[in-house]
Amino acid sequence: MPIATPRDADDIQQPRAEAKREAKGAALVPARSDGRVNGRTLVMMRWIAISGQLTSLAVLTELLAIPLPIGPMLATVGASILLNLVVMAQRGGQQRLTDQDATLYLAFDTLELTLLLYLTGGMLNPFVILLLAPLTVGAAILSIRSICLLTALNLLCLSGIAVWHLPLPWRGDALVLPPLYLGGVWSGLAMAAVMLGAYVFRVAHESRRISDALAASHLALAREQRLSALGGLAAAAAHELGTPLGTIVVVAAELARDVPKDSPIAEDIALLRSQSLRCRDILAELAREPETNGGDPFELLPLTALVDAASTPHRATPASLRIVAHALDGSPEPVVRRRPEIIHGVGNLLQNALQFAQREVEVIASWDVDSVRLAIADDGPGFPSHLLARIGEPYISARADRSGHMGLGIFIAETLLGRTGARVEFGNRREGGAQVLVRWERQDLDKEDT
């Protein structure tokens, strides 16, 4: 049975639709890498590296008596110290760094380590593995373009110290390793640089995407909750304004009694009194709390009416929407609390279906004593079979997207509906088109309605 929407529903739902569009425009854009890194973090890591380098120099020269080119090495470490002091002088090293600045800092660390390795044997130096440290840090915080540049620099430095380097400082006879072994070391470090950079970047990128998506869903829910609170705010305002408005009505009545009927202001006083009475009636209506639920008269809605309310902001599409109610065991239709999670979650699923439908979207609301189900089916292209197992992950566009959406709508819907105890399943119909099944345990919805 199609559900008829009241004429004034568009006026009620328009602010909700605008807030949703604003939330999607502001929050569904993935975070950029600029400003992700605090300069103090890189400064602290560089101080740790400097401490390790100076400690190594002291141990090798004083305890092990290994001859090192101490002057050039101390100058190299001193350059790193100087850079740290310069960064710390800029707002205490606490400013947020752009992607470009962080790349330059890590490139400096790579070059500084390369120079130290060049002075101490190059690929023969057992500390050559440390050359991967700046790349690993960068893979967790930089953009893909910067990671590629940093990886290329790392490979170039590895190749350089493999060919050009000073002899390894060594007591006794010079240490000579076969070229084939050195080539194997170079190959291993080069593969480690590429694989480590790609792996760390991918893991950090997925973590950021999940965090951004959860933040977007929380923002959408917060906006929906603020809109739901407008009714309570209106009632509170009505109570607060009732007393001064009552005073205005009394004063207007006294003026109307005392002023002669032929006075030039008699008509204005009558208008003031009539408008004051009208305002009093409006505020009384806003402040009235039905005895049925003690609050918003639309807080509890039949399941089909709730689906219709969730779909109202998304009706501006060529496709039509048909809502069908079906009792599986003859039980009465569930009356569901108008929770923001359900309104926003079901609304996102309906928006996705209406966006891709060719002619019609059908919503079948069915229930029995144990469960409540919503089946949302459209006659569009359906979900790609290779993505069915991944639908619900953030930033996955489930179908051939015609509007540039970023795949967060379904993730937000599944997250919000999951908070209400719902299970969401995605699939394709045999006759074509996609189908989304939302299922609640009846006791979960009844618990919310009591």
Of 367 and 230, the structure prediction assigns the larger pLDDT to 367
Residue closest to 405 by CA, chosen among 360, 355, 340 = 355
pLDDT band of 5, cuts 50, 70, 90: very low
Tokens of 408: 């967060």
Strands 300-302 and 335-337: antiparallel
Q: What percent of the chain has pLDDT over 90?
A: 11
Cα 246 to Cα 249: distance, rounded to the nearest angstrom:
5
Answer whether residue 122 shows pLDDT above 50.
Answer: yes
Lowest mean pLDDT among 294-303, 309-318, 434-443: 294-303
Are 87 and 151 part of one and the same domain?
A: yes
Q: Is residue 255 part of a domain?
A: yes
Are 194 and 236 part of one and the same domain?
A: no
Domain end among 219, 244, 275: 219
Q: Is residue 23 part of a domain?
A: no
Domain hosting residue 313, numbered range = 300-449
Lowest mean pLDDT among 85-99, 183-197, 251-265: 85-99
Count how many domains the chain has: 3
Are 396 and 248 part of one and the same domain?
A: no
Are 205 and 306 part of one and the same domain?
A: no
For residue range 302-351, list pLDDT tens digits in order: 888 888 888 888 877 888 899 988 888 878 888 888 887 888 888 889 88
Domain end among 219, 241, 273: 219
Q: Is residue 26 part of a domain?
A: no
Are 207 and 78 part of one and the same domain?
A: yes
Q: Is residue 64 part of a domain?
A: yes
For residue range 125-154, list pLDDT tens digits in order: 888 888 898 988 888 888 888 888 999 999
Q: Is residue 135 part of a domain?
A: yes
Tell me the CATH number at 334. 3.30.565.10
pLDDT at 204: 78
Tokens of 413: 């819907």
Are 91 and 198 part of one and the same domain?
A: yes
Q: Is residue 185 part of a domain?
A: yes
pLDDT at 112: 92
